[in-house]
Structure 1
């Protein structure tokens, strides 16, 4: 694999004080900035993340996409811009050490965006609920037949060339963030691919799959986003 370019990592986080240090610790040391977007947490997420070596930015408006946009704004303000940005959850369900495999297709000039697919990797039993598995299948199937986009997962663990990401003009502020990126990347003609990633039970309770409101809210927004960009 070619030499590592400048890579920044974005971690949207809401009440992840028990897991965030583990995530940060397992991120490869060739990453330049680890940007934790503290999404109005009521616990010690920010303090723990800073102590672990991350740059913490604050976003008071709740929303996965909103947190990601705030972290992106901080990166844009830096004098030297990254070449690649990796998105990663703060609940320790992903394996940050697999980041090398995630960015490899970009370094080999085979892709502009790489999705870490949990569907292609090994999942710890209980790491994804039945609504999550079904929702991913339904969303990716709809994307295939409506947009022609071929994905197996909407996994949050993903890498994308920074200037390509900026050109997508991301706007979603909550549950539609991941699928918006994938649809827009497909429509823009970006080269994309998936690599298998492993997945384990998260630390703590999911804000989406852990509640009925979260499951239905996410499902509704994902389907709405698919038709929005039809």
Structure 2
């Protein structure tokens, strides 16, 4: 019997991206779309496609992820952006190190399929932030990544309290302090569908970088 895996998809106005993304989920993966204040038809589109929809009124990436993890019931979970940039075909490679016992947290390292998939300013910021993360932890991480996999209860047990864009880096920092084995695997990174909430606006981009730097600075202290 195939063990199901919940996929937490933080969602803010991704009605255009959701149909193809949800249709591409392999059989053992179950979608939990966390509607984080969408003003389009994201929730309706997700329900029509068979996904479970959770509403999180508090805006922020970390708030949406936490709501999804709290609603999930599977032992293993995948957290992935809902913008279509990561194809679900990548999920098995993320889960494999958990299944074979070689890792406790697996993060996808983006490999852009075309230059436009990852705008230069965002890529440059990621290089700097990843270097800071390596210096704090010694972990061989080169991308903070929009997709990761872990065991659900231990992940919730880390006590991550960032509810904004600093959530991913706090997960890594807390996992490292807890002695987790952290691995990174390559995933193809496609052009997102629709406008990015981070790189698509100056405010979103600055917020993401500021939140991440804040968490790294706190770790340094």
Match of 2:194 among 197, 201, 204: 204
Match of 2:36 in 1: 39
Match of 1:108 in 2: 100
Deviation for aligned residue 1:4: 4.9
Match of 2:24 in 1: 26
Deviations 1:19-65 (A, max 9, x none): 1121111111112x311000010010000000001000111221111
Compared CA separation, residues 130 and 122, structure 1 to 2 (3 A) = closer
- Once residues 103 and 123 of structure 1 are traced to their aligned partners in structure 2, the CA distance between those partners, rounded to angstroms, is 22
- Once residues 136 and 94 of structure 2 are traced to their aligned partners in structure 1, the CA distance between those partners, rounded to angstroms, is 27
- Once residues 59 and 122 of structure 1 are traced to their aligned partners in structure 2, the CA distance between those partners, rounded to angstroms, is 30
Q: Is the 8 A contact 1:143 1:226 kept in 2?
A: yes
- Once residues 155 and 146 of structure 1 are traced to their aligned partners in structure 2, the CA distance between those partners, rounded to angstroms, is 17
Match of 1:129 in 2: 119
Q: Which runs of 5+ in 1 are unaligned?
A: 76-80
Give the structure-1-normalised TM-score: 0.91
Q: Which runs of 5+ in 2 are unaligned?
A: none
1:13 is aligned to 2:11: yes
Give the structure-2-normalised TM-score: 0.95
Match of 1:62 in 2: 59
1:147 is aligned to 2:140: no
When the two chains are superposed, the root-mean-square deviation of aligned CA atoms in Å is: 1.3
Q: Is the 8 A contact 2:69 2:152 kept in 1?
A: no
Indicate the structure with greater strand content: 2
Deviations 1:55-110 (A, max 9, x none): 001112211111111112222xxxxx422110011110111111111111111111
Deviation for aligned residue 1:122: 4.1
Q: What secondary structure sits across from 1:40 in the alignment?
A: coil
Match of 1:228 among 206, 210, 218: 218
